[in-house]
Structure 1
Amino acid sequence: MTRPAALPPAPRVRLSTWLLLAALVLLVIASFVSLPLKWREFFGREAIDTTVEFLRGFSPPEMAPNFLARIGTATLETLAMSAIGTLLAALFGLLLSLPASGRFGMTARLITRGALNVLRSIPELVWAAILLIAAGLGPFAGTLALAVHTTGVLGRLFADTLENCPPLAESTLRINGVPPASAFLYATLPHCSPQMMSYVLYRWENNIRAAAILGVVGAGGLGQMLKYHLSLFQMHQAATVIIAMLLLVCVVDAASFALRRRMTR
Structure 2
Amino acid sequence: MKREPGMKALPPAPRRPLSVLLVLLALAALTIASFATLRLQWQGLFSADAAATSMEFLRGFAPPETAPAFLWKVAGGIAETLAMSALGTGIAALLGLALALPASGRFGGVGRGFIRLILNVLRSVPELVWAAVLLIAAGLGPFAGTLALAVHTTGVLGRLFADTLENESPQAEAALRINGAAPMAAFFYASLPQTLPQMMSYTLYRWENNIRAAAILGVVGAGGLGQMLKYHLSLFQMHQAATVILAMLLLVALVDAVSFGLRRVMTR
TM-score (structure 1 length as normaliser): 0.97
Number of the residue aligned with 1:163: 166
The answer for unaligned runs of 5 or more in structure 2 is none
Over residues 42-87 of structure 1, what are the superposed CA-to-partner deviations in whole Å (9 max), with x where a residue is unaligned? 1111111111110000000011111111111111000000000000
- Give the Cα separation in 2 of the matches to 1:92 and 1:179: 22
Aligned counterpart, 2:196: 193
Q: Provide, for residues 189-222 of structure 1, a one-character-per-residue CA deviation record: whole Å limited to 9, x for no partner.
A: 1000000000000000000000000000000110
Aligned pairs for 1:79-118 within 5 A: 79-118=82-121
Q: Distance in 2 between matches of 1:4 and 1:167?
A: 40
Matched with 2:187 is 184
Unaligned segments of structure 1, at least 5 residues? none
What residue identity is the alignment partner of 2:246? I
CA deviations on 1:18-44 (whole Å, 9 max, x unpaired) are 222111110011011111111111111
Q: Which residue of 2 aligns with 1:234?
A: 237
What secondary structure does 2:62 align onto? coil
1:60 match = 63
Per-residue deviation, 1:12:
2.3
Corresponding residue for residue 11 of structure 1: 14
Aligned partners of 1:227, 1:24: CA distance in 2, in Å? 38
Partner of 1:71: 74
Identical residues among aligned pairs (%): 72
1:218 alignment partner, one of 215, 218, 221: 221
Quote the Cα distance in structure 2 between the aligned partners of 1:114 and 1:5: 52
CA deviation string 1:204-258 (max 9, x = no partner): 0000000000000000110000000000000000000001111111111111111
- How far does the alpha carbon of each residue in 1:81-119 deviate from its partner, in whole angstroms, 9 at most, with x for none? 000000000000000001111111111011000000000
Q: Return the offset for 1:16.
A: 2.2
User: TM-score, length-normalised on structure 2?
Assistant: 0.96
Task: Give 4+ residue runs of structure 1 displaced > 6 Å after superposition.
Answer: none
Who is 1:139 aligned against? 142
Distance 2:110 2:156 in 1: 20
The worse-fitting range, judged by mean Cα deviation, of 166-175 and 27-36 is 166-175
Shift, 1:4, TM fit: 5.5
Q: Is 1:28 matched with 2:26?
A: no
In the alignment, the residues of structure 1 paired with residue 9 and residue 163 of structure 2 have an alpha-carbon distance, to the nearest angstrom, of 36
**Secondary structure in 2 matching 1:237:** helix
Q: Which residue of 1 aligns with 2:48?
A: 45
How many angstroms apart in 1 are the aligned matches of 2:10 and 2:187? 40
Question: Residue type matched to 2:176 in 1?
Answer: L
**Structure 2 Cα separation of the partners of residues 164 and 157 of structure 1:** 11
Amino acid at match of 1:16: S
1:117 and 1:253 map into 2 onto residues whose CA distance is 27
- What SS does structure 2 have at the residue aligned with 1:163? helix
Q: How does 1:111-130 map to 2 (within 5 A)?
A: 111-130=114-133
CA distance change for structure 1 residues 99 and 8 in 2, over 3 Å: closer, same or farther? farther
Letter in 2 for 1:113: R
